Amino acid sequence: MRRRRILAAGGVLAGTVVTSVASRSPDEHDLVSAARHPGSGDEPETNTESILPNTDHETTLYEIDAPRDGPTAMIFGGVHGDEYNGIDVGHEIAEGWYPDAGTLAVVPETDRVAVENDEREGIDGDLNRHFPVDGDPESELARGVWEAVERHDPDVVLDLHRSLGIYGVHRQYVGQAIFHSSDARGDELAAALNDAVPWYLPMHRFVARESHLSGPLLFHKAARELDAVAYLFETTSFLFDRETKNEMTRVMTAALLERHGLLEAEGKR
């Protein structure tokens, strides 16, 4: 009997470890790969500017101009300082993504004080509640961010976040979801993301939800006042480590750039 128990335990342990290692998926997503490698044309030109220079909030906006004309997309990470996926991927984009057309503006550390303190909120609280429906942004940082948004007048806005749980599964959390304006391509982006979610994690599949845009959120204001196609992306910390959240964020960003004409899949270049 003891031998049977040891054999059963050993067999299961060895089997699970082997299966786990064997089923790892190291392949880079095609669109992420396309974003990381320049196309055949000239390389994009990157410029930087400061939002709120010489203040506690000073943060860098990177502007990447592709060789061909096209739409302008703005991407924000670090609106909440402890949501590393947007911060990490924002820096990756600034340092080595190559759009094929248009202009890509990225702010990796939107609330830099919150990022430095490793906290959700900065000096004036939650930045993503400072963009009211009928009125000016409610804090110095929000006003600085909004001035940059108005100056670049983006066609597309993407705000990168992470939640602690899963939308529709855990009542007060919104992970694995794409909230978007009415003219957006949320369902297509969710489908692209779900190609990267393993079939054996069914509750982690992404959902797209059209937003009523009536809240004080940055992407709401961009959609309301600039008619931008606006998205708020939420991955989750629930059973996902930092690298997996980052990969989901990369796939979302690359798929969005492709759907909105800033990036071509590698086969089409």
Least separation in angstroms between residue 202's CB and other proteins is: 8
Residue 114 half-sphere exposure, CB side, CA atoms within 13 Å?
24
The letter for the amino acid at 241 is: D
The three-class DSSP label of residue 173 is: coil
Q: Residues in contact with other proteins, total (CB under 8 A)? A: 37
Restricting to residues 124-143, name those near other proteins by CB under 8 A.
Answer: none
Given the complex with other proteins, which of 133 and 203 has the nearer CB atom?
A: 203
Site string for other proteins, 71-100 (x = CB under 8 A): ------------------------------
Question: What is the Cα–Cα distance from 59 to 53, expressed in whole angstroms?
Answer: 7
Query: Which member of 40, 54, 172, 214 binds other proteins (CB under 8 A)?
Result: 172
Site string for other proteins, 180-209 (x = CB under 8 A): ------------------xxxx-x------
69 binds other proteins (CB under 8 A): no
Given the complex with other proteins, which of 146 and 173 has the nearer CB atom?
A: 173
Restricting to residues 22-41, name those near other proteins by CB under 8 A.
Answer: 22-25
What's the burial of 69, exposed, middle or buried (CB within 10 Å: 0-12/13-18/19+)? exposed
Q: Which residues contact 48 (CB under 8 A, 6 or more apart)?
A: 60, 61, 62, 63
Question: What is the Cα–Cα distance from 28 to 259, expressed in whole angstroms?
Answer: 19
What's the burial of 19, exposed, middle or buried (CB within 10 Å: 0-12/13-18/19+)? exposed
Map tokens 């930092």 to a residue: 242
Given the complex with other proteins, which of 98 and 240 has the nearer CB atom?
A: 240
Least separation in angstroms between residue 26's CB and other proteins is: 8
Which residues form the interface with other proteins (CB under 8 A)? 1, 4-5, 7-9, 11-13, 15-17, 19-25, 164-166, 169-172, 198-201, 203, 238-241, 243-244
